[in-house]
Structure 1
């Protein structure tokens, strides 16, 4: 079988996990290759995501490395068997590969955590807001709208968002677009698996200079992945220590942010010290523009 010319994040991460397991078992590439009947540089290509590994060989690899956790094994088997094809495949000519990888990651995630500083999270954006952010690129807007379906499917993953107050004040698209966007946040907060919190300007215990990020939870915590967002070079992070630091970071953000939006609460006062009260206050300001 030939080597892949393009490697998805799932394929890269799968190979990375295999390499970590091999090294933890103190095995060289040739040693595990001999056990699997793989010749030459095949092990290196597999660990780099350039070469497919069949499930039978995966079981041998996991058994050799003494992987007994059933959830971790199941997660790796699912990664091995996936062909990376989904609704996002149709958008390959129109969006960056990182966006395609994110869509695939979201589709398989058991939970999603998002921290944003100057933008509303993509999964929570209205069409008009997305159009402004994406400069009316039709296919990119359609792609973002398709991504949002992950919140509405049966057994949708829990989605938790911490949004810096600055993002609510940015007048992307003008007052009408932002008013509708703020209203949409209240509506989507009605979903039982969606939790939205606002990190206020007056929070003095946390630096707001951190890059926005998405933490996608896998079937096992060892398969969690972080996407560090940047306008030009967003990147994925999968090493255990790095991911653990972002888990702690998100927990800290949640503890410092205001209590979650509760759209079921009866007409919160604009002065209420919670996310709903702060959002209501900002909506009043936007309506007065």
Structure 2
């Protein structure tokens, strides 16, 4: 087993899920290690993602912990693959590691849901819009750093265009449509881009208008990535220091409910498109 000094969020999630299975089985690390033929130190290092683990060892551990959820076991075994094989690795040492984690989690998602109140979701931004957003970052970014971020953001958008792309549903508040980043041309092109994306069969973009009497969550933004099984879903929140990932069952249920409620007050797709066109005409 190779040591891993900087585990990704996906690898850390694998270790955490293995720990949950052990704890549900009522075993200490010492008891589980004896059953698995390893040391408690090695098992602890697997659970905190310092050591990698093979698919075979994941299946053996799941059996030892009396886990009968075959779909979960298969999903966990699939998470043991080479973490340095994705396109995002070309950006390592150029952008923060948590952004690489986001791309990896998103890449493996089976359904994507976003609810944003003040910004256009990153997967829906044009390069010009994204560039203006990053120019306004605090602390200020250097021109090369801005270009790395823009390039990375556009590369992420490949999840919307690849074969068998996961369904993507976004709810955007009208405030985000009217936020000004760059020139009138940049703003108009961004709104037209939303309309073009909404025509993709697996993409749905809906708007909460200023006329709505409700806005659940007090304007909080959330990005929800559904995993291969519900237990492996991830909610991502934007923070000033970078993306924060949420994976506890109770919190995931809370964010699913939040997005459900936001979708319930959003305009239908046709009315959303009409509003986007109206805002574009004002630019």
State how 1:47-86 maps to structure 2 within 5 Å.
Answer: 47-86=47-86
Cα deviation per residue 1:189-241 (whole Å; 9 max; x = unaligned)?
A: 11000010111223222246343221111110110001111232421011111
Displacement of 1:148 in angstroms is 0.5
Contact 2:172 2:206 in 1 (8 A): yes
CA 1:69–1:75 in 2, change beyond 3 Å: closer, same or farther? same
1:278, distance to aligned residue in structure 2 (A): 1.4
Structure 2 residue 99 is the aligned partner of structure 1 residue 99 = yes
Q: Tell me the secondary structure at the aligned position of residue 123 of structure 1.
A: helix
Displacement of 1:82: 3.9
Instruction: Give the drift of 1:34.
Output: 1.0
CA distance in 1 between partners of 2:127 and 2:83 (Å): 30
1:251 lines up with 2:260 in the alignment = yes
1:150 CA displacement: 0.8
The number of aligned residues is: 274
Which of 272, 276, 279 matches 1:275? 272
- Report SS of the residue matched to 1:209: helix
Q: Please give the alpha-carbon distance, in whole angstroms, between the structure 2 residues aligned to 1:48 and 1:84.
A: 18
Which of 216, 222, 227 matches 1:213? 222
Q: What do residues 249-289 of structure 1 show as CA deviations (whole Å, max 9, x unaligned)?
A: 111111111112x4xxxxxxxxxxx2112112211221xxx
Q: Distance in 1 between matches of 2:101 and 2:85?
A: 11
Aligned pair 1:284/2:281, yes or no? yes
Q: Deviations over 1:109-154 (max 9, x none)?
A: 1011111111111111111101111225111111111100110000
Q: Which residue of 1 aligns with 2:189?
A: 180
Using the TM superposition, name which of 151-160 and 194-203 deviates more.
194-203
Question: What is the TM-score of this pair, normalised by structure 1?
Answer: 0.91
8 Å CA contact 2:216–2:262 kept in 1: the answer is no
- Partners of 1:210 and 1:85 in 2: CA distance: 36
Answer yes or no: is the 8 Å Cα contact 2:56–2:77 preserved in 1.
no
Does the 8 Å CA contact 2:170/2:204 hold for their aligned counterparts?
A: yes
Where structure 2 has 5 or more consecutive residues not aligned to the other structure, the ranges are 136-142
Report the Cα distance in structure 1 between the residues aligned to 2:167 and 2:88, rounded to whole angstroms.
Answer: 21
Q: CA contact under 8 A between 2:120 and 2:172: conserved in structure 1?
A: yes
Which residue is equivalent to 2:110? 110
Counterpart position of 1:88? 88
1:139 pairs with 2:148? yes
Residue of structure 2 in register with 1:20 after alignment: 20
Tell me the secondary structure at the aligned position of residue 80 of structure 1: coil
Q: Which residue of 1 aligns with 2:240?
A: 231
Question: Within the alignment, does 1:156 sit opposite 2:162 as a pair?
Answer: no
Q: CA deviation at 1:178?
A: 0.7
User: Do the aligned partners of 1:161 and 1:195 also contact (CA within 8 Å) in 2?
Assistant: yes
Shift, 1:2, TM fit: 4.7
Structure 1 outlier segments of 4+, above 4 Å: none
TM-score w.r.t. length of structure 2:
0.92
Q: What is the alpha-carbon root mean square deviation over aligned residues?
A: 1.4
Match of 1:7 in 2: 7
